[in-house]
């Protein structure tokens, strides 16, 4: 009996290894591929959504826009054509959550520095304060890569409507002033079709790690 096992031990080892490889391959093939949701207005906290589109359940995309960045250059959807990008709303004089959010945007910028498919976009919610010169000072202070990350300002109505009707990301200020808004900690992940694919808390390191992983998932969609 012992001689039988000695004779076939190499075959047994080979069979065991082959079986392990086959099981691993089958697990990877059968494992469901992660797919990110496509967010519609009806899926988002109603406080963040303009009342005119709160019940929209399909076909939602980021609207066209034309604003000015930290270098005084016009930025439109053309700059983000065929790109994955992360967007947020901020203002340069914010002393609460904005510094944390900006630091995390810098982290995303650095993590995707060599990836030309990924860009960043930050909208000022106080364009009357954040003119081009102010944005440039802020960009230099924070180490913004101009080729990858646009800080934009411009018409307040346009920014308000983008926030409420496109990115579904800010609240109204509640005091009845037209186009005034309260920005939130939200980071939005936008795909190459101008669809919202994720919301993340821009103040939480764990959410930033998840965002970076989800960027890889989007890139895997082709």
Write 198-206 long-range contacts (CB < 8 A, 24+): 198/36, 198/37, 198/39, 199/39, 199/44, 199/169, 202/88, 202/97, 202/100, 202/101, 202/104, 202/105, 203/97, 203/100, 203/101, 203/104, 205/104
CA gyration radius for the chain?
23
146 sits in the region (left: phi over 0; alpha: psi -120 to 50; else beta) called: alpha
**Is residue 60 marked as binding?**
no
Ligand-binding site membership of 104 (annotated): no
- Ligand-binding annotation for 94, yes or no, is yes
Decide if 149 contacts 120 (C-beta within 8 A).
yes
Task: Specify the length of the chain in residues.
Answer: 222
* Binding-site entries for Cu cation: 94, 98, 183
* Binding-site entries: 94, 98, 183
């Amino acid at each position: 009996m012992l001689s039988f096992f000695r004779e076939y031990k190499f075959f047994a080892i080979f069979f065991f290894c082959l079986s392990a490889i086959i099981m691993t391959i089958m697990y990877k093939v059968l494992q469901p591929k992660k797919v990110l949701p496509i967010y519609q207005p009806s899926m988002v906290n109603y406080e963040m959504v303009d009342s005119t589109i709160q019940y929209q359940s399909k076909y939602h995309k980021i609207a066209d826009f034309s604003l000015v960045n930290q270098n005084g250059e016009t930025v439109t959807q053309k700059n983000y054509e065929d790109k994955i990008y992360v967007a947020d709303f901020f203002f340069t004089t914010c002393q609460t959550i904005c510094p944390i959010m900006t630091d995390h945007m810098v982290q995303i910028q650095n993590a995707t520095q060599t990836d030309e498919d990924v860009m960043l976009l930050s909208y000022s919610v106080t364009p009357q304060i954040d003119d081009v010169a102010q944005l440039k000072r802020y960009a230099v202070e924070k180490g913004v890569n101009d080729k990858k990350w646009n800080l934009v300002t411009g018409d307040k109505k346009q920014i308000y409507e983008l926030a409420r009707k496109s990115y579904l990301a800010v609240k109204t200020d509640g005091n009845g002033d037209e186009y005034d808004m309260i920005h939130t900690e939200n980071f939005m992940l936008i795909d190459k079709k101008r669809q919202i694919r994720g919301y993340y808390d821009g103040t939480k390191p764990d959410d930033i790690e998840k965002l970076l992983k989800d960027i890889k998932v989007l890139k895997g969609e082709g």
